Structure 1
Amino acid sequence: MLGSQAFAANPDVSDSDEAVAAGKTIFNANCKSCHKLDQKYTGPALRGVSDRRSIDWAKSFIKNSQALIATGDAQANALYKEYNNLAMPAHEFLSDDDVMNLLSYIEYGDKAEAVVEGAAGEGAQVGGGSGVPSEYLTIIVAVLVVVLLLILIVLGLIISVLTKYLNNQKLDEEDDEFINQKFDVKKLFKSDAFLIIVTALVIALVAKTAIDGLYSVGIQQGYQPSQPIAFSHELHAGQYEIECQYCHTGVEIGKSANIPSANICMNCHTHIQNVGGKEGISTEIAKIYAAVDNNQPIEWVRVHNLPDLAYFNHSQHVAVGGIECQTCHGPIQEMEVVYQHSTLTMGWCIDCHRQTEIAAQGNEYYDKLMQLHAGSKDALKVKDIGGLECAKCHY
């Protein structure tokens, strides 16, 4: 949410290939689902931000936009309101060098693709979905309308010129009456040409609507169901900084992160919420006590759910790949009620596999692969170790 207009990049932002490459990795991992360089998306186009804003302001906004907004900063609050109070996730894990590399990519990266990206965009979903984007289809319909109007104008000019020419010729009465007949609006509406044009426009609009609907099938981005207990990730993961792995115990050892049982909740609440006995606890905490006393599981509502045809393994990504929970689940530590942050589409996953570099340093799992890849100038990425093979996710 950093705004967009014409720019000349800040001289403090490096244009070196190394900085741009490092910034691209950061952008793809943290920003790409909501931003583009040269086109508005879920958030504004980013290129030129270092000219429009100070470097210190950009760092503050990128690392924690909500904190900057809370200070009353006019520019930050204006952007927040412009984009319907949509909060940008905090990126406090980024160092100052990371942010500078990110700005390098924003200002100097992928300029050759800017025109193409500006015209076609990316299917969202926010990000990150696949297929023909809605903006592109809208452009096609608009171009068709303009072309049809131009054809009508040209035909009108041709008729006008021919009429003037024929009026200067010697014509019999019947031909003269035909050439100088008055324009009849009713006949126009009943003409085959008008009906064909209107039909073509209606078909184009219906087709666009249908295609938009088809590309949104199965995408649940933003899904935020009410839960049986008002559990706050903002309080537990944010304020108290409880690690995700403490409650979601399977995330590093199995396919599923698993939903924590009431017993895990009681590990803490037996001690910190027992002041005054059971009568002194809150209504929501009482529900946990009731679940334990009655030996009944808490019926949490699942938020993130992939189709059965897709295989995803948490331990492979978290324990082996070193991927942070926020990469897929968004700023979970800021969510009072959890919602699906990413599109979780096939295109979104494939794009991540194409862009994500393997965290091989200190990880023996990748030693042999790094040896085989030693002759390449490019960094080892997920796509290089089978990340784009169909059978990796579908079998």
Structure 2
Amino acid sequence: MSIKRSLLSVPLRISTLAMVLFLMIGAQAFAAHPDVSDSEEAIAAGKTLFNANCKTCHKLDQKYTGPALRGVTERRTIDWAKNFIKNSSALIASGDAQAVAIYKEFNNLAMPSHTFLSDTDLENLLSYIEYGDKGSSDAEASAGEGSEASSGGSGVPSEYLTIIISVMVVVLLLILIVLGLIISVLTKYLNNQNLDEDEKEFINQKFDFGKILKSDAFVIIVTALVIALVAKTAIDGLYSVGIQQGYAPKQPIAFSHQLHAGQYEIECQYCHTGVELGKSANIPSANICMNCHTHIQNVEGKDGISPEIQKIYNAVENNEPIEWVRIHNLPDLAYFNHAQHVAVGGIDCQTCHGQIQEMEVVHQHSSLTMGWCIDCHRQTNINTAGNEYYDKLVQLHSDSKNALKVKDIGGLECAKCHY
């Protein structure tokens, strides 16, 4: 009986020791980077830089247009992170494997350079990325962003959870292998001792794997795992219904925003004339194109006018509209007014549409979900300077220590966006 008790206690002691070691290793792996300051001053300065330069494409704990940023100083060196932020294109061009991998993962979309940031700016930015807004702004944003296709919006991205679970499974398998080796060694040792028949029978009993597979407990566990996996897949699929983030249809004319809005710096409002006047931004007519192309003579192919430019001439000559394919679609039950946001709110086009001046082919940059809009209304400050309309609201809001935001003037009311 004493041998049986001692043998039964071995796995418990070893597994306990292994779990302690695993927790110690995990704690060390998730420890803060010693080279990144966690002071309030550095985090506050970094947040200002993040909101001004990074917020359009990045989130701290969630994959967005770009990768989730928190933990970058654990995944990469500090110098690499600084170089990538300052000039990712140069790092990609140099053949850096990590930079090239990120570039390919995000559809060859290069991040704008930030060579104007000083070394101190970069350190403050990394401080905010590692320590800023934990469990506050991202948790608030996740309240309405469950429809984001790539993650659940609850602080820890789904890809991180997958990695953590995979690591735990590997560690558990290693523990089982070590336990098996220890039991094998102990069995050989005890067989060389003077034992009675009952003890020898207990020590040399065979492990019946088939009996475990047929047991009720095993069937219940496997069934529960399958049901959970199917349920998660179904829920993720339902959340992605109607989400067209990244949608980039082929247009009847290969119009390049990178050339017109980027290289030639043509203002968005020149072509999209309704953006400051009404609900819609307006799809430009062929006549607007001809305002320039009537006088431009150097956009020609080998055999005269290029085929794409010829399509514009044909539309004008035949008095037929160009059938552009709509990219950004909102459900009929939602109301959005461009003039309210652009003319009154002073919102830049890039805030919703991304770096449009860098897109050869335009794609839907933002998710355009209700949660995405609500989060913007919660975070965006109201510019009240020089506008008497807001004087009374500013007076009523004066007791609050926080700046007046869209949510404070009815930006979260259902009737604002829904008829």
TM-score band by shorter chain is: 0.7 to 0.9
**Within 1, Cα distance between the matches of 2:286 and 2:336?**
26
1:306 to 303, 310, 330: 330
Question: Structure 2 counterpart of 1:53, which letter?
Answer: D
Q: Do the aligned partners of residues 107 and 382 (structure 1) sit closer, same or farther apart at CA in structure 2, a change above 3 Å counting? A: same
CA deviations on 1:27-64 (whole Å, 9 max, x unpaired) are 6xx42653316x77641525676981389846633xxx
What is residue 293 of structure 1 aligned with on the other side? 317
**Within 1, Cα distance between the matches of 2:327 and 2:212?**
55
1:15 to 31, 41, 63: 41
Q: Do the aligned partners of residues 143 and 239 (structure 1) sit closer, same or farther apart at CA in structure 2, a change above 3 Å counting? A: closer
- Please state if 1:80 is matched with 2:100: yes
**TM-score, normalised on structure 1?**
0.73
- Describe the SS at the equivalent of 2:275: coil
What is residue 90 of structure 1 aligned with on the other side? 112
CA deviations on 1:172-224 (whole Å, 9 max, x unpaired) are xxxxx999975433333222222111111111111111111111111111111
1:257 to 259, 264, 281: 281
Cα contact 1:9–1:107 (8 A) shared by 2:
yes
- Describe the SS at the equivalent of 1:354: helix
Number of residue pairs matched by the alignment: 366
Compute the displacement of 1:134 (Å).
3.9
What is residue 33 of structure 2 aligned with on the other side? 6
Alignment of 1:139-218 (within 5 A): 182-218=206-242
Question: Structure 2 counterpart of 1:52, which letter?
Answer: I
RMSD: 4.8
Cα contact 1:234–1:335 (8 A) shared by 2:
yes
Compute the displacement of 1:394 (Å).
1.4
**Within 1, Cα distance between the matches of 2:235 and 2:165?**
13
2:414 to 375, 384, 390: 390
**Within 2, Cα distance between the matches of 1:54 and 1:135?**
23
Compute the displacement of 1:101 (Å).
6.5
**Within 1, Cα distance between the matches of 2:34 and 2:261?**
39
Q: Do the aligned partners of residues 118 and 274 (structure 1) sit closer, same or farther apart at CA in structure 2, a change above 3 Å counting? A: closer
Give the share of equivalent positions with the same residue, in percent: 60
Compute the displacement of 1:116 (Å).
9.1
What is residue 308 of structure 2 aligned with on the other side? 284
**Within 2, Cα distance between the matches of 1:371 and 1:81?**
52
1:247 to 251, 271, 274: 271
Cα contact 2:43–2:125 (8 A) shared by 1:
no
- Please state if 1:379 is matched with 2:403: yes
Question: Structure 1 counterpart of 2:369, which letter?
Answer: T
What is residue 165 of structure 1 aligned with on the other side? none
Question: Structure 2 counterpart of 1:285, which letter?
Answer: I
1:356 to 377, 380, 384: 380
Please, which runs of 5 or more residues in structure 1 have no aligned partner?
157-167, 172-176
Of 81-90 and 308-317, more deviation after overlay is shown by 81-90
Q: Do the aligned partners of residues 106 and 387 (structure 1) sit closer, same or farther apart at CA in structure 2, a change above 3 Å counting? A: farther
**Within 1, Cα distance between the matches of 2:399 and 2:344?**
23
1:104 to 113, 124, 141: 124
What is residue 60 of structure 1 aligned with on the other side? 86
CA deviations on 1:116-169 (whole Å, 9 max, x unpaired) are 9999996574789868964487589879989x99xx99xx9xxxxxxxxxxx99
What is residue 256 of structure 2 aligned with on the other side? 232
Alignment of 1:312-351 (within 5 A): 312-351=336-375
Compute the displacement of 1:91 (Å).
7.0
1:26 to 36, 41, 52: 52
Compute the displacement of 1:354 (Å).
1.2
What is residue 270 of structure 1 aligned with on the other side? 294
Please, which runs of 5 or more residues in structure 2 have no aligned partner?
1-30, 181-194
**Within 2, Cα distance between the matches of 1:193 and 1:113?**
43
CA deviations on 1:299-343 (whole Å, 9 max, x unpaired) are 000001011111111111111111100111011111111111111
Cα contact 1:223–1:339 (8 A) shared by 2:
yes
